[in-house]
Structure 1
Amino acid sequence: MPPNPSPNPTLHSFAPIEAPDAKVLVLGSMPGVASLTAGRYYAHPQNRFWPIMGSLVGAAPELDYPRRLDILRAAGVALWDVFAECEREGSLDSAIRDDTAVVNDFAGFLARHRQVRTVLFNGAKAEHAFRRFVLEPLARPDLILRRLPSTSPANASQRNETKWSAWREALREAGIAVLD
């Protein structure tokens, strides 16, 4: 008798937002339902990613999406997710089924972007998954890995000012020019 199929469809992430001279790679785990539906990173209206990027590098949420991506690229910030695909019910990272997860090709990405020295994790799940599934095979001891407060609306326990301050400090330390 064949096993019961999973009730959850396989979700697929987006291509990376990248520039040849990127210095920083920001990683989420897997886009949420709102982002997958819209076909855009951080599309949920309550996610703080674009407001934070707006205040720090000028990629404000009121700009159209392609313009925000251009500004991120010009600032030296690449954007991607740890997982290329996975099963998950809903949008919560805690619902990602690790046994169904396939990670993105970080060896290839980092080979194309040798100047990326800092990986910033947008939340705990992205960091945990990267360390568990990606880090050892990469053999890149020069990478600076830093978990930041998740910009997700599910992370409501931290104040927006706390999130903004942590992101500002991390981008500055990585050599990204931030707005004052």
Structure 2
Amino acid sequence: MSSSVPSALLAGFPPVLDRSTRVVILGSFPGAASLAADQYYAHPRNQFWRLLSAVLDDPITGLPYEQRLQRVLSHGIGLWDVIALCEREGSLDADIRRAQANDFALLRQQCRTLRRVCFNGKTSGKFAPQFADAGFETLVLPSSSPANAQLSFDEKLAQWKNIIL
């Protein structure tokens, strides 16, 4: 049932970056569980933290959220999403409407050492050409989302290992 009154736009999270960020992983937009928890990749079945822990050979999955973020930054990796604002019910990228992109100039300003931009899934991967045109190495990864069940964890991990410079 649709309403004639437009829904309020949902707002994503600020970037997790610092001056030593060499690689940034861009998702599409936080899912409902992440928005509710106010944390990147908070859905318990999302494999993001498990994949990153394996790639970095660092047991970050058991850490409190703020410590996870600090540990990821210590490895030169930043996090953000391609979409700043959107309308969406649920968590599926296919349901995103009225999307507004983040201002990616911030990446150049805050991350002078940024070399590689990785995209967590095909939705965010649609932005890869604009980053490649700006001179960054780009890598579109299989989504860590529980909705992406085509690949096993190990198959995803084999591709995710390529984020490391």
TM-score, length basis structure 1: 0.84
Equivalent position to 2:163, from 171, 175, 179: 171
Q: 1:106 to 1:22 in 2, by over 3 A?
A: same
Q: Following superposition of structure 1 onto structure 2, how do residues 107-118 of structure 1 map, counting pairs within 5 Å?
A: 107-118=105-116
Tell me the secondary structure at the aligned position of residue 102 of structure 1: strand
Q: Following superposition of structure 1 onto structure 2, how do residues 68-147 of structure 1 map, counting pairs within 5 Å?
A: 68-97=68-97, 100-128=98-126, 130-131=127-128, 135=130, 140=134, 142-147=135-140
Equivalent position to 1:152, from 127, 130, 145: 145
For 2:27 and 2:62, locate their aligned partners in 1 and report how far apart those are by CA, in whole Å.
22
Tell me the secondary structure at the aligned position of residue 61 of structure 2: coil
Q: How many equivalent residue pairs? A: 162
For 1:59 and 1:144, locate their aligned partners in 2 and report how far apart those are by CA, in whole Å.
27
Tell me the residue number matched to 2:39. Answer: 40
Deviation string, structure 1 residues 102-156 (Cα, Å, up to 9, x no partner)? 111101222221211111000000011x258xx28x951x211110000000001
TM-score, length basis structure 2: 0.91
Q: CA shift at 1:61, angstroms?
A: 1.8
For 1:150 and 1:139, locate their aligned partners in 2 and report how far apart those are by CA, in whole Å.
23
Tell me the secondary structure at the aligned position of residue 126 of structure 1: helix
Q: 1:4 to 1:35 in 2, by over 3 A?
A: same
Q: Return structure 1 stretches of 4+ with deviation > 2 angstroms.
A: none
- Unaligned runs of 5+ residues in structure 2 are none
Alpha-carbon RMSD across the aligned residues, in angstroms, is 1.9
For 2:101 and 2:33, locate their aligned partners in 1 and report how far apart those are by CA, in whole Å.
21
Q: 1:22 to 1:59 in 2, by over 3 A?
A: farther
Tell me the residue number matched to 2:21. Answer: 22
Q: 1:131 to 1:165 in 2, by over 3 A?
A: closer
Asked if the contact 1:59/1:69 (under 8 Å) is kept, the reply is no
Tell me the secondary structure at the aligned position of residue 41 of structure 1: coil
